[in-house]
Amino acid sequence: MPAVSRRAVLGGAGAGLAVGAVGGAWGGRASARDTRPSPGSARVAFHGPRQGGIVEPAQARVEWAAFDLLPGTGRDRAAGLLRDWSAAAARMAAGEPGGDGGGGIALDAGPNSLTVTFGFGASLFDKLGLADRRPPALAALPAFPGDALDPARSDGDLWVQIGADDALVAVHALRVLRRLAAGTAAPRWQMAGFSRTPGATARPMTGRNLMGQVDGTNNPRPQDPDFAAKVFATGPDWMAGGSYAVLRRIRMLLDDWESLPTDRQERLVGRRKSDGAPLSGGPDAGERTPVDLAATAPDGALAIAPDAHVRVAAPASNGGAAMLRRGFSFHDGLLADGAPDAGLLFAAFQADPARGFVPVQQRLARGDGLSRFLRHEAGALFAVPPGAPEGGYVGQPLLEG
Ligand SMILES: C=CC1=C(C)c2cc3[nH]c(cc4nc(cc5[nH]c(cc1n2)c(C)c5CCC(=O)O)C(CCC(=O)O)=C4C)c(C)c3C=C
Ligand SMILES: [Fe+2]
């Protein structure tokens, strides 16, 4: 298959998505003119200066998995695993079989915009005798008020994020990578999430979370002049062009949330539920209307309440702190009390968590109205190295340097 740049592939994916919405995706009438490729054929090149799964739109399905190195695993074995994982990920991203262990479950499907992202936890550096090369930005995060993080579902030596617009494709990739890890690393925890399916809406729009809010509007955008400075690290050498991923499994108290009237829900967020417009903007505002934190209502009260989520989280309230949020919903059945075990697999990518996530979460944990309806149940921080060139593997400069 010819090498295709990530940008070119994504452009193609956009064209393909329209076909899924109109053509035979639901077994409906397919006209003779529907000759464009299906959404399943969209692909994101694995090799490149940056790993996939950071700036690409969230796919319909995500699998997160953390692994711990088996006792006695040294740098050579770990390097071999990253070499095998990278090679398999590159094959699968190109729509080729990943190798043994996938059970044939993705045989009929295209790559479906598959991305595989690899991350390194702080504990990996100690185990491989690389403590002197652990980046300062990977220092343990502080404990935040209200945190109730389950150690069995937190942290890990290695992290794999698999995104695809088809669940079978994502699960297949996970099975392949898991098989390749046998004898070198053991699964520590695994989580599955979802996002909107391409073509599900009449026009592409920012997705919604399980609280029903349009979520992701004020993310930094790749065209912003300071985007790379916010999201990508400049060092140490092996991390230049990489990023740091903060993960949180945040359960939502959905039954309590859904019992609130819409205007109270909107006040707690600071945006309208129907279209995501800021409450500071008046009836004609839209999702992209800039938030005005100083705006007041006719009665003199702040249009965006003091404890509204967007006020407390805004860069302007946190000394400019910013991150790229790329979360997925989860819905994992019922808890013992019958409440849904559902919420957000929150992921934030940034150049330095101490300047991105930490100040924001410190303020949110204390003064965010939304946090009364949220429970932080698991968390992790991983260094996400830059992408690997053709023929190389993710983390090679660290593991062979
Ligand atoms: C520490 C960082 C953040 C956590 C944790 C977090 C959890 C969380 N957020 C929502 C819903 C929304 N968040 C929105 C905006 C927003 N959130 C954060 C940070 C965290 N959120 C930031 C930095 C921002 C942008 C603020 C700004 O600049 O305006 C929004 C509004 C739409 C948007 O801009 O994305 C919603 C809705 C939930 C449900 C949640 C935990 C489950
Ligand atoms: Fe948020």
ipTM over 0.90: yes
Answer whether residue 14 shows pLDDT above 80. Answer: no
Give mean pLDDT, residues 106-135.
97
| pLDDT on residue 191 | 98
Identify the band that residue 13 occupies on the pLDDT scale cut at 50, 70 and 90: very low
Domains of the chain: residue spans and CATH: 6-270+305-399 (3.30.70.3420)
| pLDDT on residue 35 | 62
> Which residues line the pocket of ligand 1, CB cutoff 6 A?
209, 211, 213, 215-218, 248, 250, 252, 269, 271, 291, 309-310, 313-315, 343-344, 346, 357, 360-361, 364, 374
Closest atom of ligand 1 relative to the 315 alpha carbon: 28
Ligand nearest the Cα atom of residue 321? 1
Query: Greater confidence, 9 or 155?
Result: 155
Identify the band that residue 102 occupies on the pLDDT scale cut at 50, 70 and 90: confident
Residues 326, 55, 94, 43, CA torsion sign: positive
Question: Could you give the percent of the chain with pLDDT greater than 70?
Answer: 91
| pLDDT on residue 98 | 87
* Distance (Å) of CA 188 to CA 67, 125, 153: 5, 17, 7
* Distance (Å) of CA 2 to CA 8, 134, 188, 191, 196: 12, 37, 36, 33, 29
* Distance (Å) of CA 247 to CA 128, 351, 371, 377: 23, 15, 17, 11
Which has the closest alpha carbon to 252: 346, 152, 189?
Answer: 346
Identify the band that residue 288 occupies on the pLDDT scale cut at 50, 70 and 90: very high
Helix (H, G, I), strand (E, B) or coil at 245: strand
State in Å: Cα 192 to ligand 1 middle: 20
Q: Which residue has a Cα nearest atom 30 of ligand 1?
A: 215
Give mean pLDDT, residues 176-180.
97
Closest atom of ligand 1 relative to the 214 alpha carbon: 37
Active-site choice (155, 157, 165, 215): 215
Examine the residue annotation and report whether 215 is marked as an active-site residue of this protein: yes
Residues 76, 79, 81, 84, CA torsion sign: negative
| pLDDT on residue 275 | 97
| pLDDT on residue 132 | 98
| pLDDT on residue 31 | 47
**Any residues with CB less than 8 A from the CB of 29 and at least 6 apart, and which?**
none
| pLDDT on residue 209 | 98
Per-residue pLDDT of 328-350, as tens digits, reads 999 999 999 999 999 999 999 99
For a substitution probing ligand 1, which of 309, 328, 341 has the most ligand atoms within 8 Å of its CB? 309
| pLDDT on residue 330 | 99
Query: Greater confidence, 3 or 137?
Result: 137
Q: Could you tell me the two tokens for 159?
A: 């992290």
Identify the band that residue 17 occupies on the pLDDT scale cut at 50, 70 and 90: very low
